[in-house]
Amino acid sequence: MTKTQTPRAVVRAIRSGLRSQLAGPTNPHETRGSSILRPSVFGATDGLVANVSLIMGVAGASSGDAHTVVLAGIAGLMAGSFSMAVGEYISVRSQHELLDYQVELQRQQLRHTPEQERAILVEIYESRGLSRADAKFIVDRLLAKPKRALDTFVRDEIGLSAATMGSPVAAALGSLVAFAVGASVPLAPFLLLSGATAFGLTVAATLCALFLVGLGVSRLTHRQPVRSGLRQAALGLLAAAATYGIGTLLGTAVR
């Protein structure tokens, strides 16, 4: 944080970034929301699958003891939420640090070996179908402005872009909240009920939530909605069934 930045200004910047990421696209090819979409979808899905698997495994091992299941579910929710947030922050922050390093490296190369860099960019544009004359003309125009040239080299030669990376803070918060919301779905029935009723509601609620996540993703990926929803639900059910079976076997073996 710089001297001129106040905590309130930082919060406003984060809110502005989130609104920008979540705003509707201005054209059908725009993917600016992917930087917040990926951690949010992954966080919600992981929260649902991880916690329902944990709850099913503990329920199988403890013969459905509600107290034990609730403790395991809360622990899974908290541990998973913070783990996802830390992991996403480090991941996106590392991408930004790599970009910063590459930008500085490219700046030095443009300063010390400009002709070599010019030849590389000309070759890139030629490989995309431009004639050599057209490629040289475009590169000459780009190199006339150092800032524009640097951005172009980083994007076209290295393949990095800050616009597609998003904010590490937004990614971390999105993952934390999404995981917590997802993980609370299979936990909620055991907080209110117990026994077979809670068990059945947990399975049903989780499958419905996974199906809805799949429907939401399909709106952004333009895939068949029902198929996307069923895929999410089927994979979650498979994970829950596997952990329940393993938990039951372990519980029987330990006893």
Residues 236-245 have pLDDT tens digits of 899 989 988 8
Structural domain includes residue 64: yes
195 or 156, which is more confident: 195
Cβ burial of 136 (10 Å; 0-12, 13-18, 19+) is: middle
CB 139 within 8 A of CB 149: no
The amino acid sitting at 30 is: E
29 or 112, which is more confident: 112
Q: Which two tokens stand for residue 224?
A: 């068949």
Q: How many residues does the chain have?
A: 255
**What's the confidence (pLDDT) of residue 150?**
82
Structural domain includes residue 7: no
Structural domain includes residue 28: no
Q: Which domain holds residue 225?
A: 34-254
H helices, E strands: number in the chain: 10, 0
CB 108 within 8 A of CB 102: no
Q: pLDDT confidence of 25, banded at 50, 70, 90?
A: very low
Neighbours of 3 (CB within 10 A): 5
**pLDDT per residue as tens digits for the range 170-221:** 889 989 999 999 999 999 999 998 888 999 999 999 999 999 988 887 877 7
Domain count, the chain: 1
Does residue 251 carry a pLDDT above 70?
A: no
**What's the confidence (pLDDT) of residue 146?**
77
Structural domain includes residue 17: no
Structural domain includes residue 223: yes
Structural domain includes residue 16: no
